[in-house]
Amino acid sequence: MEEINNIEVTPCTESDYLKPFRVHYNQNGTKKSWDFMRTHDSVSVLIFNTSSHCFVLVKQFRPAVFMSEWERAKTQPPQLAEKTEEGEPEAAAAAAPAPEPQEGQSASEGESSSQWPPASAGVTYELCAGLVDKPDLSLEEIARQEVLEECGYDVPASKLKRITSYRSGVGVTGAKQTMFYAEVSDDNCVSAGGGEPREGELIEVVKVPLHEAMTFAYDERIPKTMGVIFSFIWFHNNMSPKYKISTNV
Protein backbone atom coordinates (compact mmCIF):
# COMPACT_ATOMS: atom_id res chain seq x y z
CA MET A 1 0.00 0.00 0.00
CA GLU A 2 2.78 2.41 0.85
CA GLU A 3 5.03 1.83 -2.17
CA ILE A 4 4.35 5.10 -3.97
CA ASN A 5 6.73 6.24 -6.72
CA ASN A 6 6.85 7.84 -10.18
CA ILE A 7 4.80 10.78 -8.91
CA GLU A 8 3.67 13.13 -11.68
CA VAL A 9 1.54 16.27 -11.38
CA THR A 10 -0.52 17.03 -14.50
CA PRO A 11 -3.42 19.35 -15.38
CA CYS A 12 -6.89 17.89 -14.88
CA THR A 13 -8.87 18.90 -17.94
CA GLU A 14 -11.62 16.28 -17.68
CA SER A 15 -12.87 14.13 -14.82
CA ASP A 16 -15.72 11.73 -14.10
CA TYR A 17 -15.68 12.81 -10.46
CA LEU A 18 -14.98 16.56 -10.25
CA LYS A 19 -16.17 19.42 -12.42
CA PRO A 20 -15.02 22.97 -11.56
CA PHE A 21 -17.36 25.95 -11.94
CA ARG A 22 -17.54 29.63 -10.97
CA VAL A 23 -20.86 31.06 -9.82
CA HIS A 24 -21.63 34.79 -9.86
CA TYR A 25 -24.38 36.19 -7.64
CA ASN A 26 -25.59 39.20 -5.67
CA GLN A 27 -25.88 38.96 -1.89
CA ASN A 28 -27.54 41.85 -0.03
CA GLY A 29 -26.70 44.16 -2.91
CA THR A 30 -23.06 43.09 -3.16
CA LYS A 31 -21.82 41.33 -6.28
CA LYS A 32 -19.86 38.18 -5.46
CA SER A 33 -18.38 35.09 -7.09
CA TRP A 34 -17.29 31.70 -5.81
CA ASP A 35 -15.38 28.77 -7.28
CA PHE A 36 -16.79 25.32 -6.55
CA MET A 37 -16.66 21.71 -7.64
CA ARG A 38 -19.61 19.60 -8.67
CA THR A 39 -19.18 16.04 -7.44
CA HIS A 40 -21.13 12.97 -6.36
CA ASP A 41 -22.86 12.58 -3.03
CA SER A 42 -21.68 9.64 -0.92
CA VAL A 43 -22.57 7.12 1.74
CA SER A 44 -20.54 5.88 4.72
CA VAL A 45 -21.09 2.99 7.11
CA LEU A 46 -20.07 2.50 10.73
CA ILE A 47 -19.58 -1.26 10.98
CA PHE A 48 -19.58 -3.00 14.37
CA ASN A 49 -18.66 -6.67 14.62
CA THR A 50 -20.70 -8.21 17.44
CA SER A 51 -18.60 -11.39 17.46
CA SER A 52 -15.31 -9.66 18.28
CA HIS A 53 -16.74 -6.41 19.71
CA CYS A 54 -14.73 -4.22 17.38
CA PHE A 55 -15.32 -1.53 14.79
CA VAL A 56 -14.39 -2.30 11.21
CA LEU A 57 -12.64 0.55 9.40
CA VAL A 58 -10.78 0.85 6.13
CA LYS A 59 -7.24 2.10 5.64
CA GLN A 60 -6.15 3.46 2.28
CA PHE A 61 -3.80 5.81 0.50
CA ARG A 62 -5.43 9.12 -0.44
CA PRO A 63 -3.52 11.09 -3.12
CA ALA A 64 -5.26 14.34 -2.12
CA VAL A 65 -4.07 13.93 1.48
CA PHE A 66 -0.56 13.11 0.27
CA MET A 67 -0.37 16.20 -1.92
CA SER A 68 -1.86 18.36 0.85
CA GLU A 69 0.90 17.18 3.19
CA TRP A 70 3.47 17.96 0.52
CA GLU A 71 2.07 21.48 0.08
CA ARG A 72 2.01 22.02 3.85
CA ALA A 73 5.62 20.92 4.18
CA LYS A 74 6.66 23.45 1.53
CA THR A 75 5.22 26.36 3.53
CA GLN A 76 6.94 25.45 6.78
CA PRO A 77 10.13 27.39 7.55
CA PRO A 78 13.19 25.21 6.91
CA GLN A 79 14.82 23.78 10.00
CA LEU A 80 18.42 24.93 9.98
CA ALA A 81 20.82 22.10 10.55
CA GLU A 82 23.51 22.34 13.20
CA LYS A 83 26.69 24.05 12.12
CA THR A 84 29.29 21.76 10.69
CA GLU A 85 33.02 22.18 11.14
CA GLU A 86 33.13 23.79 7.70
CA GLY A 87 30.56 26.42 8.69
CA GLU A 88 26.91 27.31 7.91
CA PRO A 89 26.68 27.24 4.09
CA GLU A 90 26.55 23.44 3.91
CA ALA A 91 23.85 23.20 6.57
CA ALA A 92 21.75 25.94 4.99
CA ALA A 93 21.93 24.25 1.60
CA ALA A 94 20.81 20.95 3.12
CA ALA A 95 17.82 22.68 4.71
CA ALA A 96 16.71 24.53 1.58
CA PRO A 97 13.10 23.78 0.52
CA ALA A 98 12.52 21.45 -2.39
CA PRO A 99 11.83 23.04 -5.79
CA GLU A 100 8.19 22.95 -6.82
CA PRO A 101 7.44 20.44 -9.59
CA GLN A 102 5.98 21.80 -12.79
CA GLU A 103 2.80 20.35 -14.24
CA GLY A 104 3.60 17.17 -16.10
CA GLN A 105 6.95 16.79 -14.34
CA SER A 106 7.63 13.66 -12.36
CA ALA A 107 9.61 13.49 -9.13
CA SER A 108 12.58 12.05 -11.02
CA GLU A 109 12.80 15.01 -13.41
CA GLY A 110 14.82 17.72 -11.71
CA GLU A 111 14.23 16.63 -8.13
CA SER A 112 14.98 13.70 -5.89
CA SER A 113 12.17 11.40 -4.85
CA SER A 114 13.42 11.84 -1.28
CA GLN A 115 12.00 15.39 -1.37
CA TRP A 116 8.46 14.01 -1.41
CA PRO A 117 6.90 13.05 1.93
CA PRO A 118 6.76 9.34 2.81
CA ALA A 119 3.78 7.51 1.34
CA SER A 120 2.42 7.04 4.86
CA ALA A 121 1.62 10.79 4.87
CA GLY A 122 -1.25 10.02 2.50
CA VAL A 123 -2.72 7.04 4.39
CA THR A 124 -5.93 7.57 6.38
CA TYR A 125 -8.34 5.51 8.48
CA GLU A 126 -11.96 5.91 7.40
CA LEU A 127 -15.44 4.49 7.58
CA CYS A 128 -16.40 2.16 4.76
CA ALA A 129 -17.77 4.54 2.13
CA GLY A 130 -18.59 5.04 -1.53
CA LEU A 131 -19.99 7.40 -4.12
CA VAL A 132 -23.67 7.70 -4.93
CA ASP A 133 -23.24 7.13 -8.66
CA LYS A 134 -25.84 4.44 -9.34
CA PRO A 135 -29.21 6.21 -9.78
CA ASP A 136 -31.11 2.92 -9.98
CA LEU A 137 -30.05 1.89 -6.46
CA SER A 138 -31.21 3.18 -3.07
CA LEU A 139 -28.68 4.67 -0.64
CA GLU A 140 -29.05 1.55 1.52
CA GLU A 141 -28.25 -0.73 -1.40
CA ILE A 142 -25.21 1.34 -2.37
CA ALA A 143 -24.00 1.20 1.23
CA ARG A 144 -24.57 -2.58 1.31
CA GLN A 145 -22.43 -3.02 -1.81
CA GLU A 146 -19.63 -0.93 -0.31
CA VAL A 147 -19.61 -3.01 2.89
CA LEU A 148 -19.34 -6.18 0.80
CA GLU A 149 -16.65 -4.88 -1.57
CA GLU A 150 -14.47 -3.03 0.93
CA CYS A 151 -14.85 -5.07 4.11
CA GLY A 152 -16.15 -8.47 2.96
CA TYR A 153 -19.38 -8.59 5.00
CA ASP A 154 -22.65 -9.53 3.32
CA VAL A 155 -25.37 -7.58 5.13
CA PRO A 156 -28.95 -7.13 3.87
CA ALA A 157 -29.78 -3.51 3.02
CA SER A 158 -32.75 -3.76 5.40
CA LYS A 159 -30.33 -4.20 8.32
CA LEU A 160 -28.64 -0.85 7.71
CA LYS A 161 -29.69 1.83 10.18
CA ARG A 162 -29.61 5.39 8.89
CA ILE A 163 -27.78 7.65 11.36
CA THR A 164 -27.91 11.03 9.62
CA SER A 165 -26.88 12.98 6.54
CA TYR A 166 -24.69 16.07 6.44
CA ARG A 167 -22.81 18.35 4.08
CA SER A 168 -19.09 17.89 3.54
CA GLY A 169 -16.62 20.19 1.82
CA VAL A 170 -19.06 23.11 2.10
CA GLY A 171 -16.47 25.57 0.80
CA VAL A 172 -15.61 23.56 -2.29
CA THR A 173 -18.15 20.85 -3.14
CA GLY A 174 -21.15 21.08 -0.82
CA ALA A 175 -21.74 17.37 -1.36
CA LYS A 176 -24.03 15.39 0.94
CA GLN A 177 -22.93 12.25 2.76
CA THR A 178 -25.41 9.85 4.36
CA MET A 179 -24.11 7.75 7.25
CA PHE A 180 -25.41 4.31 8.19
CA TYR A 181 -24.78 1.86 11.01
CA ALA A 182 -24.45 -1.87 10.42
CA GLU A 183 -24.02 -4.68 12.93
CA VAL A 184 -22.21 -7.70 11.52
CA SER A 185 -20.87 -10.95 12.90
CA ASP A 186 -18.18 -13.33 11.78
CA ASP A 187 -20.94 -15.34 10.11
CA ASN A 188 -21.55 -12.42 7.72
CA CYS A 189 -17.92 -12.39 6.54
CA VAL A 190 -17.77 -13.88 3.04
CA SER A 191 -14.46 -12.44 1.80
CA ALA A 192 -11.38 -10.52 2.87
CA GLY A 193 -12.69 -7.31 1.32
CA GLY A 194 -10.10 -4.90 0.00
CA GLY A 195 -12.17 -2.94 -2.48
CA GLU A 196 -12.62 -3.25 -6.22
CA PRO A 197 -9.21 -3.53 -7.99
CA ARG A 198 -10.83 -2.68 -11.35
CA GLU A 199 -11.69 0.73 -9.89
CA GLY A 200 -8.15 1.25 -8.60
CA GLU A 201 -9.04 0.53 -4.97
CA LEU A 202 -6.41 -0.86 -2.62
CA ILE A 203 -7.98 -1.09 0.82
CA GLU A 204 -6.83 -2.66 4.06
CA VAL A 205 -9.51 -3.72 6.54
CA VAL A 206 -8.71 -2.56 10.10
CA LYS A 207 -10.43 -3.57 13.34
CA VAL A 208 -10.55 -1.24 16.34
CA PRO A 209 -11.55 -2.91 19.65
CA LEU A 210 -14.53 -1.34 21.37
CA HIS A 211 -12.55 -0.44 24.51
CA GLU A 212 -9.93 1.41 22.42
CA ALA A 213 -12.37 3.35 20.25
CA MET A 214 -12.32 6.74 21.98
CA THR A 215 -8.56 6.69 22.42
CA PHE A 216 -8.29 5.93 18.71
CA ALA A 217 -10.74 8.70 17.81
CA TYR A 218 -8.92 11.44 19.72
CA ASP A 219 -5.34 10.40 19.03
CA GLU A 220 -4.14 13.12 16.66
CA ARG A 221 -1.20 10.98 15.59
CA ILE A 222 -3.64 8.65 13.82
CA PRO A 223 -4.82 10.19 10.52
CA LYS A 224 -8.57 9.74 10.26
CA THR A 225 -11.69 11.34 8.85
CA MET A 226 -14.23 13.30 10.87
CA GLY A 227 -16.75 10.57 10.16
CA VAL A 228 -14.78 8.14 12.35
CA ILE A 229 -14.81 10.50 15.33
CA PHE A 230 -18.47 11.44 14.94
CA SER A 231 -19.67 7.87 14.47
CA PHE A 232 -17.77 6.60 17.52
CA ILE A 233 -19.39 9.35 19.62
CA TRP A 234 -22.80 8.48 18.13
CA PHE A 235 -22.23 4.83 19.05
CA HIS A 236 -21.36 5.75 22.64
CA ASN A 237 -24.46 7.94 22.99
CA ASN A 238 -26.92 5.57 21.34
CA MET A 239 -25.72 1.99 21.80
CA SER A 240 -24.89 2.01 25.53
CA PRO A 241 -25.51 0.16 27.76
CA LYS A 242 -25.92 -2.65 25.20
CA TYR A 243 -22.32 -2.13 24.12
CA LYS A 244 -20.27 -0.18 26.62
CA ILE A 245 -17.57 1.94 25.05
CA SER A 246 -14.78 3.27 27.25
CA THR A 247 -14.57 7.06 27.46
CA ASN A 248 -11.06 7.10 28.85
CA VAL A 249 -8.86 9.09 26.49
* CATH code of residue 137: 3.90.79.10
**Residue 136: domain span:** 44-66+119-162+175-239
Determine the Cα–Cα distance for residues 240 and 237; give it in Å rounded to an integer.
6
The tally of domains found in the chain comes to 1
Q: Are 33 and 23 in contact (CB under 8 A)?
A: yes
Determine the Cα–Cα distance for residues 152 and 180; give it in Å rounded to an integer.
17
- pTM to 2 decimal places: 0.82
Question: Does residue 51 form part of some domain?
Answer: yes
227: left (phi > 0), else alpha (psi -120 to 50), else beta?
Answer: alpha
Q: What is the pLDDT along the chain (249 residues), one digit of tens a residue?
A: 567 888 888 999 899 899 999 999 999 999 999 999 999 999 999 999 999 999 999 999 999 999 999 888 877 766 644 444 444 443 333 334 445 555 555 444 444 555 788 889 999 999 999 999 999 999 999 999 999 999 999 999 999 999 999 998 899 999 999 999 999 999 999 999 988 767 666 899 999 999 999 999 999 999 999 999 999 999 999 987 778 777 666
Question: Does residue 139 form part of some domain?
Answer: yes
Question: Does residue 74 form part of some domain?
Answer: no
